[in-house]
C-alpha cells in the first residue's frame, strides 16, 4: 500500500527513533529479545511503547483473561474481547502497530515449569508488568538465576514506580523484606467486630464455611475461648455459654475444640440451607451466645439480635447513601429488611449452585467434593457477602456500607487508571534503553508522586541501591532464621505456609544433614507431611537446607523453636515481622496510628509508593498488602519503607 516516495520507510516505522538514540543503540533495540511479563494495565501500554520504539522480538506472558473492568485502561482490549486471553489479544492488537514485529504470546502462568532458567536466559531483558508480589518474587529469582537484567514496575491509583534490577549490581526485588499482610485477630472477627472490615471478613469467611473450603482459619462462630471473655479463668467464658439453650450443638463443639467449623457446614446441610433458620442462627442465636459472654460487653456496646432490630425499625429502609444522590444499585446502602431479603435469596441460590456442582462432580466420578470459590466479580457471591456483612454491622451498631464499598474491601481492589500506567510504561522503556546501552550507572528507580515535592518534582529518579548482603535471595549464601513451634507445626504446614507461602518457593526440597525430609517429587515424602517438625528431628536451633531446583534457589534455614506467637501468627521469619497463614489473609486492620488514614486500604490491595521528599526519604505509602506493589524502596537511611503491600487484581502491573 505504500506507494509513495517514502517506501524506504515502509518496512520500519520506527526508523526515525535512530535519529534520537543513535544508529548503534537502535541496532541493539532491533536485535534485543525482550520478555514482557503481564499484559494488563501496564502491559498494554508497555507493549505499544516497545513496538513503536523499534523492538521487534517480544514475548508476552499473561495468565489472565479480559474483564469489562479492564477496559477503562487496557486499551489494546475492546468489548468483544471480554473473556479472551490478555496475552493473545494484546499481541494481536500491538502487531497491527507494526506488522513486522515478532510478538509471541503465552497464555500461561509465568511460574510454570516450562519457563525454566534456560528459557529466561534467552532474553536480553525482562520487563515486569505484574500485579502481585508472588509473581514478582518468582521472576526476580529467575532473572537472578539466569543473570538477565529486569525492569520492575508497579502502579496504584495516581502513584507509580519503576526500577532496575541487575544481579550483583543493584538490590533485588527481595532485598527489602515486605511486611506480611496484616490479619485481624480471630476473636475480633468472631466475637467483637468494631469496624466494617471486620464484618466484611466475617462475611467472606461465612461464605467459605457454608459453600467453600471450610477450615480453622475462617471460623466465624462465637469463640467461647476468647481470653478476654474468660478473664483470668479460662473456663469462665465456657461456663457462661454452657447455660445453653438453642445452641447446644454449637456450645458442645466449642467447648471441645473451639473449632466448630465442620459443625457449621454440617448444621447447614442438616437444615438444608434453610434461609430463615440460617438467619435465625447467625444473627439471632449466635448473637445471644455472644451476649452471654458478658465480660466482652463491659466496655463495649453489646450487639443487638436481628429480630429485635427488625421489631424496632419502622419500615426497615434507609435507602440512600449519605453522600450521593445516585440511585445506582451499587451505590445505595440497603436497608435492614433489604439486607435480610438479599441474604436469604443469595443463600438459597448459592446453596442450589453448590448442589448442582456436587451433582456434576458426582456424575463425572470425581472423588473431590465440589465447593464454591468466592470471587468479588461473582455477583451472587458479592451480594451474599454484602448482605451478611451489613446484617452483622447492624447487629454490632456499625454504620452500614453500600455494595460498591463492600466490594472494595472484600475484593481488595486497587484503583487503576490509564494515565498512571502510561507514564510508568514510558519510564520502563527509557530504563530498558539504558540497559541496552550497558549504562547501568545511569539507571534509576523512579517514583511518580501525586504532587510535586519541595524540589518541584513529580517524577523522582533516585539512584539504585546496592544489593543487601543479608538478602535471603540474592546473597552469595542465602540464610534466614525462622521461629516456629516445632512441636505443633507439621512438615506439610511448613512446606505450605513457610517455604511456599512466605519464602516464595515453587517446589522445594528440604534436607537436614543427609536426610531428605521433603521432596518436590510427588509422593516421595508425603508420609512426613502430617508429622510435627520436632518428630522429624527439627528442633530448636536446627539448620535445614532447602533447594528449589526450578528457581535455582538454595537457602539455609535456621529453625528456632518458639511456643507462642503474637496475634494469630504461626511463625516469624526474622526481619520480616509476623506472618499470617496464607489461607487466612484478612484485610488489614486499620493501624491505630495517626497516619492510618493513608494506609487504609483493603488487604490485598495496594501498594502504593508515595514519595515524600526526593533525595531524602521515600515513603511507601499504604500498607496493605498488595500487588501492585512496585519494587520496594530500600530500608536504609536513604529510603524509608513505611509499609509495603500486595495486591491482587490487575494492575500494576497491571
Partner 1 sequence: MAVAFTDDEAQLYDRQIRLWGLDAQKRMRSARVLLAGLTGLGVEVAKNIVLAGIKSITLLDGAVTTDADLTAQFYLGVESLGLNVSHSPKTRRQKRLLVHNAFMVAVVVDEENLESKQDSFFSQFDIVCLVGAPLNTMISVNDACRKYCVKFIAGSVYGLSGFLFQDLLEHDYVEDVVRAPGEPPQVGKHETAQQALDAANETTASQFHSSFTPLSAALSVAWSDAIAAKRIKPAPKLWFALLALWQTQRQNIELQATSDLLASAGIPSSVLPLDYLSAFFQSIGPEMSPVSAIVGGVYAQEVLKAVSGKDAPLNNVFLFDGTDGAGYATRVSL
Q: Which residue of 239, 308, 326, 543 would you call a contact of partner 1, by CB under 8 A?
A: 326
Q: How many chain residues interact with partner 1 (CB under 8 A)? A: 98
The CA distance from 203 to 376, in Å, is 12
135 annotated binding-site participant? yes
Dihedral angle sign, alpha carbons of residues 272, 359, 219, 389: negative
CB nearer to partner 1: give 3 or 233: 3
CB nearer to partner 1: give 79 or 637: 79
CB nearer to partner 1: give 16 or 369: 16
The CA distance from 59 to 91, in Å, is 9
197 annotated binding-site participant? no
Q: Which residue of 72, 239, 352, 366 would you call a contact of partner 1, by CB under 8 A?
A: 72
The CA distance from 290 to 507, in Å, is 44
H or E stretch at 447:
strand 444-448
Q: Interface residues for partner 1 in 155-194 (CB under 8 A)?
A: 157-158
562 annotated binding-site participant? no
CB nearer to partner 1: give 581 or 644: 644
Shortest distance in whole angstroms from residue 160 CB to partner 1: 9
Rounded to whole angstroms, what are the CA distances from 23 to 397, 431, 440? 69, 18, 20
Shortest distance in whole angstroms from residue 60 CB to partner 1: 17
CB nearer to partner 1: give 79 or 477: 79
Dihedral angle sign, alpha carbons of residues 623, 625, 630, 635: positive
Q: Interface residues for partner 1 in 211-250 (CB under 8 A)?
A: none
300 annotated binding-site participant? no
SS3 of 318-384: CCCCCCCCCCCHHHCCCCHHHHHHHHHHHHHHHHHHHHHHHHHHHHCCCCCCCCCCCCCCCHHHHHH
86 annotated binding-site participant? yes
Shortest distance in whole angstroms from residue 431 CB to partner 1: 9
SS3 of 473-519: CCCCCCEEEEEECCCCCEHHHHHHHHHHHHCCCCCEEEEECCEEEEC
For the window 1-30, what string marks contact with partner 1 as x by the rule CB under 8 A?
xx-xxx--xxx-xxxxx-xxx---------
Closest CA to 397 of 345, 341, 337, 336: 336
320 annotated binding-site participant? no
The values of phi and psi at residue 579, to 5°, are -130, 130
CB nearer to partner 1: give 9 or 113: 9
71 annotated binding-site participant? yes
353 annotated binding-site participant? no
75 binds partner 1, rule: CB under 8 A: yes
The values of phi and psi at residue 542, to 5°, are -100, 135
Any catalytic annotation for residue 143? no
Closest CA to 414 of 97, 646, 136: 646
Dig out the grid coordinates for 652 from the structure.
500494576
In the β-sheet with 150-156, what is the strand arrangement from edge to edge? 102-107, 57-62, 33-37, 125-128, 150-156, 159-165, 444-448
Dig out the grid coordinates for 341 from the structure.
431479603
Query: Which residues are CB-contacts of 641 (< 8 A; sequence separation ≥ 6)?
Result: 176, 618, 620, 632, 633, 634, 635
3-class SS of residue 470: coil
Q: Interface residues for partner 1 in 490-529 (CB under 8 A)?
A: none
Shortest distance in whole angstroms from residue 329 CB to partner 1: 6
Terminal-residue alpha carbon distance, the chain = 36
Q: Which residue of 179, 196, 203, 504 would you call a contact of partner 1, by CB under 8 A?
A: 196
Q: Interface residues for partner 1 in 405-434 (CB under 8 A)?
A: 405-406, 408-409, 413-423, 425-430, 433
8 Å CB contact between 181 and 585:
yes
Segment interacting with partner 1 (CB under 8 A) among 73-81, 213-221, 259-267, 467-475: 73-81
Segment interacting with partner 1 (CB under 8 A) among 126-134, 179-187, 396-404, 487-495: 396-404
577 annotated binding-site participant? no
Query: Which residues are CB-contacts of 476 (< 8 A; sequence separation ≥ 6)?
Result: none
334-351 b/e (C-beta count within 10 Å ≥ 16 → b): bbbebbbebbbebbeebb
Q: Interface residues for partner 1 in 573-602 (CB under 8 A)?
A: 590, 594-598, 600-601
The CB density around residue 523, as the number of other CB atoms within 10 Å, is 7
For the window 438-477, what string marks contact with partner 1 as x by the rule CB under 8 A?
------x-x-x-xxx---xxxxxx----------------
CB nearer to partner 1: give 452 or 530: 452
40 annotated binding-site participant? yes
Q: Interface residues for partner 1 in 78-117 (CB under 8 A)?
A: 78-79, 96-98
The CA distance from 95 to 98, in Å, is 5
Q: Which residues is 445 bridged to in the sheet?
A: 462
Q: Interface residues for partner 1 in 38-67 (CB under 8 A)?
A: 45, 48-49, 51-53
132 annotated binding-site participant? yes
CB nearer to partner 1: give 415 or 582: 415
242 annotated binding-site participant? no
Shortest distance in whole angstroms from residue 187 CB to partner 1: 19
Task: Determine which one of 143, 187, 199, 402 is catalytic.
Answer: 187
Shortest distance in whole angstroms from residue 595 CB to partner 1: 7
Q: Any idea which residue has 454440617 for its cell?
A: 266
Q: Which residue of 608, 611, 619, 641 would you call a contact of partner 1, by CB under 8 A?
A: 608
CB nearer to partner 1: give 309 or 448: 448
The values of phi and psi at residue 6, to 5°, are -95, 25
Q: Which residues sit in the known binding site for Zn(2+)?
A: 172, 175, 471, 474
Task: List active site positions.
Answer: 187
Q: Which residues sit in the known binding site?
A: 38-43, 62, 70-73, 86, 131-136, 172, 175, 471, 474
Q: Which residues sit in the known binding site for ATP?
A: 38-43, 62, 70-73, 86, 131-136
Amino acid at each position: 500500500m505504500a506507494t509513495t516516495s517514502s517506501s524506504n520507510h515502509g518496512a520500519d516505522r520506527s526508523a526515525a527513533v535512530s535519529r534520537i538514540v543513535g544508529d548503534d543503540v537502535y541496532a541493539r533495540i532491533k536485535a534485543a529479545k525482550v520478555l514482557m511479563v503481564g499484559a494488563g494495565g501496564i502491559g498494554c501500554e508497555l507493549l505499544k511503547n516497545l513496538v513503536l520504539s523499534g523492538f521487534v522480538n517480544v514475548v508476552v506472558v499473561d495468565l489472565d483473561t479480559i474483564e469489562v473492568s479492564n477496559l477503562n485502561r487496557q486499551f489494546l482490549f475492546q468489548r468483544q474481547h471480554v473473556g479472551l486471553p490478555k496475552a493473545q489479544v494484546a499481541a494481536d492488537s500491538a502487531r497491527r502497530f507494526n506488522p513486522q514485529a515478532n510478538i509471541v504470546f503465552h497464555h500461561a502462568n509465568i511460574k510454570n515449569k516450562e519457563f525454566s532458567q534456560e528459557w529466561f536466559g534467552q532474553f536480553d531483558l525482562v520487563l515486569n508488568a505484574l500485579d502481585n508480589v508472588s509473581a514478582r518474587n518468582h521472576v526476580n529469582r529467575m532473572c537472578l538465576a539466569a543473570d538477565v537484567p529486569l525492569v520492575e514496575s508497579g502502579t496504584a491509583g495516581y502513584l507509580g514506580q519503576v526500577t532496575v534490577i541487575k544481579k550483583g549490581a543493584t538490590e533485588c526485588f527481595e532485598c527489602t523484606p515486605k511486611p506480611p499482610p496484616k490479619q485481624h485477630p480471630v476473636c475480633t472477627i468472631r466475637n467483637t467486630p468494631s469496624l466494617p472490615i471486620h464484618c466484611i471478613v466475617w462475611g467472606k469467611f461465612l461464605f467459605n464455611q457454608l459453600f467453600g473450603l471450610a477450615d480453622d482459619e475462617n471460623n466465624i462462630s462465637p469463640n467461647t475461648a476468647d481470653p478476654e471473655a474468660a478473664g483470668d479463668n479460662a473456663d469462665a467464658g465456657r461456663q457462661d455459654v454452657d447455660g445453653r439453650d438453642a445452641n447446644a450443638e454449637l456450645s458442645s463443639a466449642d467447648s471441645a475444640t473451639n473449632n466448630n467449623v465442620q459443625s457449621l457446614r454440617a448444621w447447614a446441610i442438616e437444615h438444608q440451607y434453610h434461609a430463615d433458620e440460617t438467619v435465625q442462627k447467625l444473627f439471632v442465636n449466635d448473637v445471644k451466645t455472644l451476649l452471654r459472654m458478658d465480660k466482652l460487653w463491659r466496655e463495649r456496646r453489646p450487639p443487638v439480635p436481628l429480630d429485635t432490630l427488625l421489631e424496632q425499625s419502622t419500615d426497615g429502609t434507609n435507602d440512600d447513601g449519605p453522600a450521593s444522590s445516585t440511585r445506582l444499585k451499587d451505590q445505595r446502602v440497603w436497608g435492614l429488611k433489604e439486607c435480610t431479603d438479599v441474604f436469604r435469596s443469595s443463600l438459597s441460590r448459592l446453596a442450589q449452585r453448590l448442589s448442582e456442582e456436587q451433582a456434576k462432580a458426582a456424575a463425572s466420578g470425581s472423588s473431590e467434593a465440589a465447593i464454591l470459590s468466592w470471587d468479588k466479580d461473582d455477583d451472587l457471591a458479592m451480594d451474599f457477602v454484602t448482605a451478611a456483612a451489613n446484617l452483622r454491622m447492624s447487629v454490632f451498631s456499625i454504620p452500614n456500607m453500600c455494595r460498591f464499598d463492600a466490594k472494595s474491601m472484600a475484593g481488595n481492589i486497587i484503583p487503576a487508571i490509564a494515565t498512571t500506567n502510561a507514564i510508568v510504561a514510558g519510564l520502563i522503556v527509557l530504563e530498558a534503553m539504558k540497559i541496552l546501552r550497558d549504562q547501568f550507572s545511569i539507571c534509576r528507580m523512579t517514583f511518580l508522586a501525586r504532587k510535586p515535592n519541595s524540589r518541584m518534582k513529580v517524577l523522582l529518579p533516585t539512584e539504585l541501591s546496592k544489593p543487601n548482603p543479608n538478602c535471603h535471595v540474592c546473597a552469595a549464601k542465602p540464610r534466614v532464621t525462622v521461629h516456629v513451634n516445632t512441636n505443633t507445626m507439621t512438615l506439610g504446614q511448613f512446606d505450605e505456609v513457610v517455604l511456599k507461602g512466605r519464602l516464595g518457593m515453587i517446589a522445594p526440597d528440604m534436607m537436614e544433614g543427609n536426610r531428605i525430609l521433603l521432596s518436590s517429587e510427588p509422593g516421595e515424602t508425603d508420609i512426613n507431611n502430617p508429622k510435627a517438625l520436632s518428630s522429624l528431628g527439627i528442633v530448636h536451633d536446627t539448620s535445614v537446607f532447602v533447594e528449589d531446583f526450578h528457581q535455582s534457589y538454595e537457602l539455609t534455614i535456621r529453625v528456632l523453636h518458639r511456643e507462642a506467637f503474637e496475634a494469630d501468627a504461626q511463625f516469624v521469619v526474622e526481619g520480616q515481622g509476623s506472618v499470617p497463614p496464607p489461607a487466612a489473609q484478612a484485610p488489614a486492620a486499620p493501624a491505630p496510628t495517626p497516619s492510618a488514614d493513608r494506609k487504609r486500604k483493603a488487604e490485598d490491595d495496594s501498594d502504593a509508593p508515595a514519595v515524600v521528599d526526593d533525595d531524602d526519604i521515600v515513603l511507601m505509602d499504604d500498607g496493605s498488602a498488595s500487588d501492585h506493589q512496585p519494587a520496594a524502596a530500600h530500608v536504609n537511611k536513604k529510603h524509608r519503607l513505611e509499609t509495603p503491600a500486595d495486591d491482587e487484581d490487575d494492575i500494576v502491573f497491571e
